[in-house]
Structure 1
Amino acid sequence: MTTKKLTLQDKIDKLEKLSNFFTNQEDLDLDEAVKKYEEASKLAVEVKKELSSIELKIKEIKSTYEEREESDF
């Protein structure tokens, strides 16, 4: 079995689908709901980590740009 690495957008889309599962169900199968909740929790942690990493990278780029801009004067 091959596992495809999901992109950040794939993870966000999947998280949204899982969220919709809970909001659009009248009768929830408890076992299925627990599995989907666990999957959503794991995805949420992964998305948060990736977003934090992206935020840090943006701050580093911004800092580098600002340093270059200041040294040009």
Structure 2
Amino acid sequence: MSEKFIVTSKTVKYKEELYDIITLRMPKEIRKEFDKLAGESDYSRNQLMCMALQYALDNLQFISKDKDNEQ
């Protein structure tokens, strides 16, 4: 994928009542990268992860198995 995930200055306040709390297991290196990005921006690690997940969903192409062609 050639498109960049671009982060700009923080301008939006988040309303806590619109969110769920979940637990996510991930490789330590990914968490460290988000920590680094959070330190370089006005966003929290959580906000950056939510932005990245939304970007992934917006740009996802899902290809399901064709059950008629399974052998």
Larger radius of gyration: 1
Q: Which has the higher contact order (CA 8 A, sep 6+)?
A: 1
**TM-score with structure 2 length normalisation?**
0.29
**TM-score with structure 1 length normalisation?**
0.28
